[in-house]
Amino acid sequence: METVEMNSVSLKRPRSEDDVASADEIKRQKILEKSKAGNDSGQSIENVTEQPEDTKSEIIPNEESEEQEEEELEDSDEDGDPESFADMMKHGLTESDVGITKFVSSHKGFSGILKERYSDFVVHEIGKDGRVSHLDDFSVPVDDEVNFEDPSEETFTVLSDEDKQRLEELQLFKNKETSVAIEVIEDTKEKRTIIHQAVKSLFPGLETKTEDRDGKKYIIAYHAAGKKALANPRKHSWPKSRGSYCHFVLYKENKDTMDAINVLSKFLRVKPNIFSYMGTKDKRAITVQEIAVLRITAQRLAHLNKCLMNFKLGNFSYKNHPLKLGELQGNHFTVVLRNITGTDDQIEQAMHSLREIGFINYYGMQRFGTTAVPTYQIGRAILQNNWNEVMDLILKPRPGAEKGYLVKCREEWAKTKDPAAALKKLPVKRCVEGQLLRGLLKYGMKNIISAFGIIPRNNRLMYIHSYQSYVWNNMVSKRIEEYGLRAVPGDLILKGATAVHIEEGDVDNYTIHDVVMPLPGFDVIYPKHKIGEAYKEMLVADNLDINNMRHKIRDYSLSGAYRKIIIRPQNVNWEVVAYDDPKIPLFTTDLDKLEGKPLPVLPTDGKFRALKMEFSLPPSTYATMAIREVLKMDTSIKNQTQLNTTWLR
């Protein structure tokens, strides 16, 4: 079977609201016509557009912190001027920059709009037991143990904002006070009980007692056992018969998993590290996944449904274990591609190919960053132990539009190399640049390794994993170019957890779907054919030794792994639907079903056509790469914005 080279151009619609969708559609059609007219080769130009989603925002709690203010600053420019965004993307990456160059199917590509609304992209987590996570129950489980009472609804409102602020400062040891006194205005036993409950429930680590002062009753809050009490929720208030972890299904819209957990932890006034999950989910989507949290009641979690717009929590249960990253079996995707141009026959060929052959298991573009400094370059500098370059790549000025404070920070750094001066230009200190500058301020310019270590570990490892992904993408493209879609002697297959080479006499026993390729590391083997040599050549060109991927800093030693070349999605289904209004949803979500919203009524002969597709993928595979194979398009944001400036004139 022949592979097909990528020769398409992609298009990104400007950032706009739904109420101007019709005007944008006219402009989009003009661009399509202009693009086709200018295609001198006679080949069709396949276009894909990614329209920013309709947006909502969660209610910010009354108790604003510096961190929350930073979040607002960080988010404020997200949906900014489309020309600025397009300018930034001129300096971004294309798929070919990161080794994504091949297709495996032979059908003709067609255009479609990906994520015209974020609700066009829905992800349901598949647990290790094969069960797909759904939000379909808001009820709170009832304990068998009658002596324990969950907080009442009044618990969440009985304390004033000022009381909560003082209690939080006490809880987090932010002042010199050893206790906080709360006057009981309506002095009844019931009222005192509710205040006691509220303090203990909302501020783990604090105990309470009642005191008379000058003829008035006060609830006195104090630390039960020093700083350890904050880390260890009170054991006496949690029933022995109840599992220590409350598991729940989190339904979220247009937020990534860590952002969602940060919001939940702020509302609950707990540390984010008491939450656990099996995998992170996309931001630009509706996603449904399981979360576990240590010793927070289902009732407290359910109360958040009244406060938050972006999230819904449900399907509560108590268990004795947290969740672990990687435990999931995969994810099920429901994707709508709007305003498709393909014929019914083209669509059938594309979807049959996806189901029967699959797609190249490339690492998607989000793995490599969106700015002019790709994450894999920083990862390569880390592996080379070139720490001055790591610092330079993160902090130096870069072409393209950025948020104003980042531009000023980089300019200051280039001019003075003074971390304190550069940090002053940066109101958002939690970004990578801010964290590195804080580290340089703390450890000095001669200790970049320690300064870099201030950045959270997962963020640091992201860079070297990006480099691994960059190598893998390039090598798998070479492998398919050299040998096509068949297993050949010298390829690798997995037998259990061990990789072995395919011998000459065993080739007929395997297909391309069995073949794996290594991510470079110190404990992997490489193919025994031209691609094995290509790995070595690529790493030599990057001043790295493929036979010694151990780093003097253990965290940055690459252990390597294996990854299938071709992924064949499971549970593939599709249908073409007609519609007139770009704003209407084309299917119902879990939340729609819970709220009793009816199925959308679609015309039989609408102005537009959409491809609704469903499929399941294993962990660490990219739905965008499956969609790329269907449409035959470049998924990079740079290509999606190439025609933006023409559009906006």
Catalytic residues: 282
Residue in 9, 31, 29, 17 with CA at minimum distance from that of residue 647: 31
Dist CA 336 CA 353 (whole Å): 18
Q: Nearest CA to 53 among 119, 124, 123, 122?
A: 119
Buried-exposed string 156-182: b where 16+ CB fall within 10 A, e elsewhere = bebbeeebbbbbbebbeeeeeeeebeb
Q: In whole angstroms, what is the distance from residue 387 CA to residue 406 CA?
A: 21
How far apart are the C-alpha atoms of 407 and 397, rounded to whole Å? 7
Which residues are CB-contacts of 465 (< 8 A; sequence separation ≥ 6)?
367, 379
CA 568 – CA 353 distance, rounded (Å):
9
- Cα–Cα distance, 265 to 381 (Å, whole number): 35
User: Position of tokens 């170019």?
Assistant: 481
Tokens encoding 325: 């990253």
* Closest among 515, 567, 544 to 376, alpha carbons compared: 544
Q: Choose among 62, 72, 88: nearest CA to 156.
A: 62
Any residues with CB less than 8 A from the CB of 66 and at least 6 apart, and which?
Answer: none
